[in-house]
Structure 1
Amino acid sequence: MSSITQAPSALPAKITTFKPNTNLSLLQISTHLQEAKQIHALMIKTSQINDTYSASRLAEFYSISDNGSLSYAEKILNSVQEPYPFLWNTLIRGNLKNQNPIKALLLYNEMLRKSVEPDHFTFTFVLKACTQLPAPKFGKQVHCHIVKYGLDSRVYIRNKLIHLYAVSGSVKCARKLFDTSTELNIVTWNSMLECYADNGDKESLHQLFDKMPVRDVVSWNTMIAFYVQVEDFKGAMEMFRKMQDNGEDLNRVTLVSALSAVACLGALAQGRWIHLYIDKHRIELDEILGSALVNMYAKCGCIEGAIQAFNETRKKSVDTWNAMISGLAANGESLKASEYFMKMESARVRPNAITFSSVLNACSHGGLVEDGSTFFRKMSDVYGIKPDIVHYGCIIDLFGRAGMFDKAEEMIRTMPMKPDAVIWKALLGACRIHRNLELGEKAGTELIKLAPDDHASYVLLSNIYAMANNWNEVHRVRKTMRGRGIKKPPGCSSIELDGVVHEFVVGDTTHSRNEDIYKMLDEMGEKVELSGYKPKTEQVLLDIEEEDAKQSSLGHHSEKLAVAFGFISTKPKTIIRVVKNLRVCSDCHSVMKLLSKSYERDIIIRDSNRFHHFRNGSCSCKDYW
């Protein structure tokens, strides 16, 4: 929505203006507050401050300039015997610029109390303040004032009102304004579009978008951002392509939203295309776009690309560093994540709570117990950041993964808050790794109490019982799960080839190249058997007596189907990249290590927890995930 700048013509006709003089000319070129104060003193000395035009321009400098001072602007306002709307508007606008909408609304109240009649600029700024807070009740009162003063037909004021009602969730009020508008410009359409997008009304959103007589970049960005918000990432990318087909230029907002969708899909080829577009159009990587690009590469398992994007980002904010550190952590580069944290400190960028959760996560998955303990202490001792439940979860996970269960349990007992589901899930995962069945049962029971609707709670506990061959308890957990109507989502893996994302579920037979895929699966099975592979049938967490049936189920896991399709669809040595919605099982993990060596291929799998980079028979997680 375009901003409205208050013009000098907004001054009442009764005000006498005089030609630009030396003082006002000097004010225009001032770059420091001290210079403006000297000009202010000259204006007082020459009585020029009594001229309303000169006083207004000085107040405008104090209010709007980056080198201004709102307190001095208020002094001018208070010194004028009968302040006119322009002066009030200037102060209201200045407070908005300084992120103080409450003060802006207080000034508006004072303006009314002093019987100063607001104009259309006043309402434009006041509605913006209501939206920033948001303050829907106050906004409705302002709406009444707008009608009272006969300004409700002004298109840009109606647009601001629609936006306000959208932010406050009053869709009906927004639609009523839209339907009764005599003039609908592109901003009006976009305001209503954003209203539907913000409030999740998908059908109405599409209907309105289809009816739009003209669309601009804001229209398309609203649609793409909506799809990202509701996690329909394929829909977001389809809208992104349609936007290009319609010849619309892409701006930073477009690219950030598209990169978010690409990151979640793991569609690296599309992400690289966006990077090339940024380079081709010489779009500078600012803090937001640079962070989005780093995040995209990291979530697609391409750390080299993430580092390149990080280095290309000139001004790095804490978010940029966080994206890099968390990306390294998720991709098994724990030592590098620790190194980047220290580089961040050297660059004098102050870490925040997210930074510490990222670096602690890196230490946890890398077995860096000493480093993790140091970072945890440093968090509060050096930076004064109080650890929250997430940080305690990371440090408990750190101790648990290292098999230091005494320290993990001690941390749970002594931390200043009750353990939540994340804490127990971390401990349960560590118990699975180290086969600590007794503590695992306790953690799993507590987990189900805290997260009774989370399918993962039941699956993890049934894992523990299955490891102990306690099938009665496996059945009991599964029965409880079914009785509560909780279903485990089917495993789904996707692989992108030539810009197209192919999806597979366990035992999938629907792909057009199904016959070739299963032939490759047979070949893969023979290859890994020659390498000494023995199926980990305990991973099939059902009481299936026939070993052949168990092996068949393992062999048709979705990630194996995706890899098989990748093998038959790409040239030798091509990296295979797969995204899975669930955690990869240990059997598939073992198979992928062997396949990477047998076929001399790098295989990268992103599961629900982290990345696994399989190369020459080993994994980046060092079997520690």
Structure 2
Amino acid sequence: MPNRTSTVPPHPLHERDARRPPRVLVPCRAFSASRLSCRPGATQWPRGARRALPLHAHASLPEQCRPLLSPSSSPLLRSPPPRRNRSRNRRYAMRKPRPPLPPWPRRRLLRTPRACGSTRTSRSACSTTCSARALTRTPRRTSSLSRPARAPGTVLRPRSFTDNDMVAWNCLLRGYAQEGGDEDLLRDFFARMPSRDSVSWNTVLSWCVVNGEYDEAIAVFREMLASQECQPDRVTLVSVVSAIAYLGALAHGLWAHAYVFRKCIEVEEKLSSALINMYSKCGFIEGAVYVFDNVGGKRSLDTWNAMLAGFTANGYSERALELFTRMESTRLMPNKITFNTVLNACSHGGLVEEGMKYFQRMSRFYGIEPDIAHYGCMVDLFCRAGMFEKAEEIIQTMPMEPDASMLKALLGACRTHKNLELGKKVGHRLIEAAANDHAGYVLLSNIYALDGNWGGVHKVRKLMLDRGVLKTPGSSSVELNGVIHEFISGDKSHSRKRDIYKMLGEICQQLKSSGYTPDTSQVLLDIDDEDVKESSLALHSEKLAIAFGLISTAPGTPIRVVNNLRICGDCHNAIKLISKIYGRCIIVRDANRFHHFRKGSCSCGDYWGMLL
């Protein structure tokens, strides 16, 4: 008797479709058992579904729907698809980018949750699809962060889920976080979750870091540890370490690194790069070198770039170039980020010839075409060295228009080297190119102040006021016992203000005894009284932070200061002497780089005077 068991003939497009991810996979998951007749041999499909569902989609369908594609339902499989569908698939395969989803599943999924079925599988799938749609389409009216709470007909409401349906809860939480918007709505939704896993916590931590809420990220991490709902993983620590890096809180960073060792968490590529970046931005370059030297396996390009950037930012230009030579010996191909860091190292170290050599080498030897960032590094390199002709030649010959950072570098060089006429031209060009950036107005007003043109200073400040541009107030912070103490110029709000100002007076006396004279040219105000200018310089936030560090830490311990603006020339010279008088290593991180003051000298080689 012949064997009547026969295999299902392959679909004409099956092999081609198997090489291509399904286009309608996610919407098809939203069909529930209540919407489909999930019986072996069933031949009834929802209208339009048979034409849109590829054969290979059955691997990801819910369990209730898989019998529809079993061999027993051969009437569904043996009938060839319409010719129109075949030609349409050919057109889809030729299109780039991928065509949008068919309209029928979107209309069905964007109805109320009841229309998508009542099973847990279909609710989770529907929330995933709606969140994905909200994330990939441009909002028309309001921010999509508030869309889940304000448009219950579009995205599932939390009360539609069961308490243990973590997939659906996390999908909507991710929709809140990735779309941006109202922070209160995100907090409220996170607080109302019946339970939270590592995905939930990592989503909120990532949102805090992306949106600059670094203090909040640390607080959320502490809450995560206290809740004991789940253990932090590598993704958690990458976000936390990134927040610590921005704050410059070394004590927090050391604790986080120790936590990695205690929990035996694997230090893979992203976590190792984050740790190197954290130690570098905290001014603890030895810690960054330790992490780099103990990376297991082959180092990735991101790890090399992080270490190069750490050496560059901390003023170790020669060590950065030595590390790049070491990387070349491993035959690892550098990228644009690598050469951007190398050129920055040459710029910070005043290595003009080396910078020109590497700039030519990146295109001739590695075939990397320089972009605006690389040209900006070369302009900054020539500006720091006072080679204005070379800098202008780069700007005129490069194949793109100069950006704001390039003009800032040129304008800062004009201020440092007293090239006032060129500085005025560049300054006016800068405030027109970046009308909302306060740095251009401040630099241009400083140029006029150095020239003694106070009328020009008032005009620039009035223009700044008319355009609604606000200057960022300068502040300096010091971390002590896990607490960050922040100071502004002339600050008297600290609880130990009497001790701080007493130490500040002692510092001023010691500086004068050492022959130090305040650089009153740094006071760019229309003030004739030199004593008032000296008093103004003494109350800068950097000096207040250092005074607090001297009275709060043991003798011989380093003092780490984080400044949100560029350090001024008077503070730079004063801190060099303070490090020598008190025998302290003072590490200052400003908006551009690190300054390691030891025994009366600075790691930057006094190349601090220009903006990047």
Whether these two folds match at TM > 0.5 is yes
1:444 is aligned to 2:374: no
CA deviations over 1:553-594 (Å, ceiling 9, x no partner) = 111111111111111100001100011111110011011001
2:548 maps to amino acid: F
Match of 1:494 among 477, 480, 502: 477
Asked if the contact 1:554–1:587 (Cα under 8 Å) also holds between the matched residues in 2, the reply is: yes
**Match of 2:189?**
208
Q: Within 2, Cα distance between the matches of 1:139 and 1:297?
A: 50
Cα distance change, pair 119–377 in 1 and its aligned pair in 2 (3 A): same
Cα distance change, pair 119–448 in 1 and its aligned pair in 2 (3 A): same
Cα distance change, pair 140–543 in 1 and its aligned pair in 2 (3 A): farther
Q: CA deviation at 1:152?
A: 7.3
Cα distance change, pair 102–430 in 1 and its aligned pair in 2 (3 A): farther
Q: Within 2, Cα distance between the matches of 1:136 and 1:467?
A: 60
**Match of 1:30?**
none
CA deviations over 1:87-139 (Å, ceiling 9, x no partner) = 79x966x645xxxx77989x999973688696582599xxxxxxxx9989628
Cα distance change, pair 117–229 in 1 and its aligned pair in 2 (3 A): closer
Q: Within 2, Cα distance between the matches of 1:255 and 1:472?
A: 53
Q: Within 2, Cα distance between the matches of 1:113 and 1:238?
A: 48
Q: CA deviation at 1:466?
A: 2.2
1:231 is aligned to 2:194: no
Q: CA deviation at 1:287?
A: 0.9
Give unmatched runs, 5+ long, in structure 1: 1-14, 17-49, 53-78, 125-132
CA deviations over 1:418-442 (Å, ceiling 9, x no partner) = 1121111111122222222222222
- What SS does the corresponding residue of 1:320 show, helix, strand or coil? helix
CA deviations over 1:169-193 (Å, ceiling 9, x no partner) = 6557655332173535112111111
**Match of 2:51?**
112
1:181 maps to amino acid: S
1:143 is aligned to 2:106: yes
**Match of 2:454?**
471
1:156 is aligned to 2:124: yes
1:337 is aligned to 2:337: no
Match of 1:178 among 156, 163, 169: 156
Q: Within 2, Cα distance between the matches of 1:172 and 1:569?
A: 46
Q: Within 2, Cα distance between the matches of 1:535 and 1:561?
A: 16
Q: CA deviation at 1:167?
A: 2.0
**Match of 1:189?**
169
1:519 is aligned to 2:497: no
Cα distance change, pair 569–357 in 1 and its aligned pair in 2 (3 A): same
**Match of 2:393?**
410
**Match of 1:291?**
273
2:156 maps to amino acid: F
Q: Within 2, Cα distance between the matches of 1:245 and 1:467?
A: 55
Identity percentage of aligned residues: 51
2:192 maps to amino acid: K
- What SS does the corresponding residue of 2:216 show, helix, strand or coil? helix
Cα distance change, pair 82–111 in 1 and its aligned pair in 2 (3 A): farther
Q: CA deviation at 1:163?
A: 3.2
**Match of 2:32?**
none
Quote the RMSD (CA, aligned, Å).
3.1
**Match of 1:274?**
256
2:307 maps to amino acid: M
Cα distance change, pair 296–141 in 1 and its aligned pair in 2 (3 A): farther
Q: Within 1, Cα distance between the matches of 2:427 and 2:403?
A: 12
1:263 is aligned to 2:245: yes
- What SS does the corresponding residue of 1:138 show, helix, strand or coil? coil
Asked if the contact 1:466–1:538 (Cα under 8 Å) also holds between the matched residues in 2, the reply is: no
Q: Within 2, Cα distance between the matches of 1:181 and 1:512?
A: 51
**Match of 2:377?**
394
Counting matched residue pairs gives 535
Match of 1:573 among 549, 556, 576: 556
2:133 maps to amino acid: Y
Greater share of helix residues, 1 or 2?
1
1:327 is aligned to 2:310: yes
- What SS does the corresponding residue of 1:579 show, helix, strand or coil? strand
Cα distance change, pair 120–103 in 1 and its aligned pair in 2 (3 A): closer
Q: Within 2, Cα distance between the matches of 1:172 and 1:578?
A: 39
CA deviations over 1:266-288 (Å, ceiling 9, x no partner) = 00110011111112222221111
Higher mean alpha-carbon deviation, 159-168 vs 439-448, is at 159-168
**Match of 2:179?**
199
- What SS does the corresponding residue of 1:178 show, helix, strand or coil? coil
Match of 2:226 among 241, 245, 261: 245
Give unmatched runs, 5+ long, in structure 2: 30-47, 64-95
- What SS does the corresponding residue of 1:412 show, helix, strand or coil? helix
1:533 is aligned to 2:516: yes
2:270 maps to amino acid: I
- What SS does the corresponding residue of 1:605 show, helix, strand or coil? strand
Match of 2:571 among 588, 611, 614: 588
Q: Within 2, Cα distance between the matches of 1:562 and 1:171?
A: 39
- What SS does the corresponding residue of 2:596 show, helix, strand or coil? strand
1:590-605 alignment, distance < 5 Å = 590-605=573-588
1:598-617 alignment, distance < 5 Å = 598-617=581-600
Q: Within 2, Cα distance between the matches of 1:390 and 1:594?
A: 35
Q: Within 2, Cα distance between the matches of 1:493 and 1:134?
A: 49
Cα distance change, pair 123–474 in 1 and its aligned pair in 2 (3 A): farther
Match of 2:356 among 358, 368, 373: 373
Q: Within 1, Cα distance between the matches of 2:108 and 2:58?
A: 11
Asked if the contact 2:408–2:440 (Cα under 8 Å) also holds between the matched residues in 1, the reply is: yes
Q: Within 2, Cα distance between the matches of 1:279 and 1:390?
A: 38
**Match of 2:60?**
121
Match of 1:548 among 531, 548, 566: 531
2:10 maps to amino acid: V
TM, length-normalised to structure 2 = 0.81
Cα distance change, pair 102–409 in 1 and its aligned pair in 2 (3 A): farther
Q: Within 2, Cα distance between the matches of 1:562 and 1:139?
A: 62
Cα distance change, pair 284–369 in 1 and its aligned pair in 2 (3 A): same
Asked if the contact 1:310–1:320 (Cα under 8 Å) also holds between the matched residues in 2, the reply is: yes
CA deviations over 1:129-167 (Å, ceiling 9, x no partner) = xxxx99896286533466999667413312422431342
**Match of 1:9?**
none
Match of 1:428 among 383, 397, 411: 411
1:80 is aligned to 2:10: yes
Q: CA deviation at 1:413?
A: 1.1
1:481 is aligned to 2:481: no
Q: CA deviation at 1:238?
A: 0.8
Match of 2:135 among 160, 167, 188: 167
Asked if the contact 1:152–1:158 (Cα under 8 Å) also holds between the matched residues in 2, the reply is: no
- What SS does the corresponding residue of 2:382 show, helix, strand or coil? helix
- What SS does the corresponding residue of 1:391 show, helix, strand or coil? helix
CA deviations over 1:306-338 (Å, ceiling 9, x no partner) = 111111222322111111111111110111111
- Higher relative CO (Cα under 8 Å, sequence separation at least 6) belongs to 2
Q: Within 1, Cα distance between the matches of 2:599 and 2:129?
A: 61
Q: Within 1, Cα distance between the matches of 2:145 and 2:283?
A: 41
2:101 maps to amino acid: F
Q: Within 1, Cα distance between the matches of 2:103 and 2:206?
A: 28
